[in-house]
Structure 1
Amino acid sequence: NTSINLLSCQQWHNYQQMKLKRQVALWIGIFSVIFWAEPSFQDSAPIFTRIASSPTCEQGLDTSKVYIAGLFDTLNFDWGQEIFDFTISLLNDHHNYWHDDILNDGTEIIATVADAGCDPGIAVPAYWDLKTSWGQPLHGVIGCRCSGASIAVSRIAGLEDIPVVSMSSSSAQLSDIIDFSSFFRLVGPDNSRGQVGALVTLLQSFGWDRVSVINTDTQYTKDLATAFGNTWTGDIAHIHTVSIRPDGTVEDTSVDQALDGVPVDDPRVNSRIIVLIAHHQHAYPILQRAQQRNFQPDTVWVGADAWTGQFFGSDTEWMPDIPGYIGVVPYRNNDSHLHDFLNRLQNHQKATQTTTPSISPASGSAAEDTTFPSLPSYAAETMVDSI
């Protein structure tokens, strides 16, 4: 929904003058976040020296290189950097028959990766550090993975028309092309036309008309819970937001409060169906706590893709024999281009003796069949397309 026009230098400066008042108000808020998060940023050069100038009008600009940054959480998306770096290496090789037409004039991509922490308070300082300390112009950002971080970074990047392409941020807020004028993504928004609509349809297909909703205190999950509440036409017996500690873990007391509030004693208002809206690193401790407490054993937990589309890991002894976990995940097409990429990545891993990411056979294929491998997360696939 964004058109790109070639502007003369005079038109560019007129455009920047028109945006200046809006930028000043936004930068005041941004500075307060940056200074609070990292005092050392106070020594950085004033940003307005960058706003007033246009790189398109500089003489002798080196157009043979494009500088982009990967901005995503490196803890819960730890194999993301390997995919990012490998994709960049494929694109910079102009003779490997993998999208050689994209940079057929010899242009080279120079890339770096910074940790966004799936957290606006980490992502904004990381973006600022790239702008002020990398030593290179920043032409684009691949990220963030989480909506809260993307919302914060995209507001800043939009002031200088730096494109931000997210592989997985699905908050409906990001569909506003005025507030997020340079933001793009490869997933649908969490509204009635996206994941929320899919969740509602799933519940209705089973004939369920009463649910409880437990969500965590992140921008993504709060937005998703709000959109679900606005779309769901049945009853909501109980809703609770689980608090997140500063270290990123769930608050145990808040989890207990969420479980204690679910009605289980009166058949007229009981809710056996619980919609759990959380990232996987938060959802699994909540599910484990419910199992430890022997909470309503016949509960059906219905999840968003943020946890139902993720691997539980090897520690699953706590899970009940019949977990009762269902959810929605994006459809993953058996695309020949993706298979080509994954086969190249497998060969690279064998040559370099790396072990991540864990490439597994695609859903529906035999366990020993590696003809159609798949990555453990949809976000890993969309990262490649984002770049």
Structure 2
Amino acid sequence: MQFKNTREFARSLDAQDKLISYKEEFIFPVINGKKVIYFTGNSLGLQPKRAQKYVNEIMNDWAGLAVEGHFKAEKPWWDYHERLTRPLAKVVGALPEEVTVMNTLTVNLHFLMVSFYRPTKRRFKIICEEKAFPSDQYMLASQVRFHGFDPKEAIVEIKKREGENFWRTEDVLKTIESTGDELALVLIGGVNYYNGQVFDMETITKAGKKAGAFVGWDLAHAAGNITLQLHDWDVDFAAWCSYKYMNSGPGNVSGIFVNKKYHGKKDIPRFEGWWGTKKETRFLMEPEFEPMPNAEAWQVSNAPVISFAPYLASLTLFDEVGMEALIAKRDLLTSYLEFVLKTIDDEIGINDVFEIITPPERGCQLSVFLHGQGKPLFDYLMENGVITDWREPNVIRLAPAPFYTSFEEMYEFGQILKKGILEN
């Protein structure tokens, strides 16, 4: 398709967009009386309008039924989480029994590490990406220290090549091979939070498993954003937050994936609690833990259903639209944004103001170096109704989520950005 940086062309793309009506399903902040152009769905997704209804259902049941809501509500609380598993499994490419919802992301990674980081004197190293999201770095280092190892020795970081802004798959594979039988675990962010790169999860998983290691993925920036086939890729475990592309609300609950091959095992190391025991015997208060025959065995406490409600509301949207349609729009939308940025760069007449550091292997996000520009430009965008994400020293992250972003907004953003550079 031959793009044009005109409002008319952008509107023509919107006219052809089968998902354009879903923009009305979300609530937008307003600045100076106008809805914002929202680029930070990779940090916090917008609120679906239907979320309030789902939350109110539980609040009303709590008011009218109190404790009986666990069993007598229209959506009983004691199995509320089961309503999320089937639509969520479609999003991450899993069997329904391989996913569940609980806790928050880093908490879940810690819980999963009990099962999938079992270091020995010989096999104790963990491979991750250089400068992983800080919470992952802290989590890995604390796990390693807990087991009596030195993070400087046990954590192997895959580095970018000199002068490059992305990781090469061959470098990941070489690191796995060179670590050899010292490798206990590969745990990488499926989509890097900073540059937006999508890792080749299938190839890396296969290599890690061949080396005799467990392989897990932090999918915080991947779930609801890219194609995932966790079951078919034979991933051991994964976890993700729900408040970015999945629009469940700030700091909300996390999802987990545990490969079916580990289900029903009583001898697997695992921190256990009441809600992971079999439903049939849960209320008999038996002294011995009988694990659920699915990923729910990793659950510890009863479900925080008020938190689950907006997640379920958002998942109904994903179930209606499907990941295939979202990804098709995502690719066209992000490509058009890239075109707009390059066109504005040419129009400004200053060489290479914008340097896109996101490689072609990407989802919604474009990370852009603003050469010669600083925080005042970011502030200008915010003041003029464009919500982006600033990362030091001079990077803005732009994530046009396909559910609620239009092509005309990409054009409008370009005009605001151009004016901001020329005025600053």
Q: TM-score, normalised by structure 2?
A: 0.30
Could you say which structure has the greater relative contact order, defined with CA pairs below 8 angstroms and 6 or more residues apart? 2
Q: Report the TM-score, using the length of structure 1 for normalisation.
A: 0.32
